[in-house]
Amino acid sequence: MSDEPVEVEVLADGRLVVWSINDSRRLFNTDFYGKPLGNPKPKKDFDEPLILDLVEGVYLLEKKIIMVRAKGRKIVAFSLKKLAREQLDNFDALYQVYRNLREKGFVVTPGIKYGCDFAVYEQGPGIDHAPYIIQVMSREGSMSAAEIVKAGRLASTVRKTFIVALPGKEGVEYLEFKWWKA
């Protein structure tokens, strides 16, 4: 990745967009950040702007990989986190898990199509399939037996391992659910 931060704009709806196609390709092709707009299965030479979600945007801003602007003014990490907290329930927990997984070398993407918080790849989309789907929960939270079964059935249907992430003061703990036939 180049030393020069990529310029990103905050849209009115809170999404982050990289308008430069070269910068979009660099972010996506190097470490699989973002998603090319309207392109569900991008190849290396896509021609669309890149959309970043707020969780990865905060991460990239803190790492000084991107520089964020809103209405022409530079936004610092504190302000972007404030926006993320306004837009996303449970932002701090989501961000702690996202950062933990990224720093362990995983590629982390939104898990909305699996009904969870994150899909996690060992190498990246288009290279391997995401072996894990992650649901971030509070340590004080609970999950009913029916919710566990539902999550497990979905995960096994799409051939993924269902993991509950529990962020806390000492870091993140992960509970992996394995399913087998007797």
Q: Is 160 a catalytic residue?
A: yes
- At residue 1 the predicted structure's pLDDT band, cuts being 50, 70 and 90, is low
pLDDT in tens, 156-167: 777 888 999 999
Active-site choice (81, 129, 150, 174): 129
Q: Is 121 a catalytic residue?
A: yes
Q: Is 129 a catalytic residue?
A: yes
- At residue 127 the predicted structure's pLDDT band, cuts being 50, 70 and 90, is confident
Domains of the chain, by residue range, sit at 1-88, 90-182
Active-site choice (121, 132, 169, 174): 121
Give the whole-angstrom CA distance, residue 173 versus residue 181.
Answer: 27
Q: Which CATH class is domain 90-182?
A: alpha beta
- At residue 49 the predicted structure's pLDDT band, cuts being 50, 70 and 90, is very high
What is the value of pTM for the model shown? 0.91
Task: Say which range, 3-7, 41-45, 151-155, has the weakest mean pLDDT.
Answer: 151-155
Which has the higher per-residue pLDDT, 78 or 139?
A: 78
Contact residues for 9 (Cβ-Cβ < 8 A; gap 6+): 16, 17, 19, 68, 69, 70
Active-site choice (81, 98, 114, 160): 160
Q: Domain 1-88 carries which CATH code?
A: 3.40.1170.20
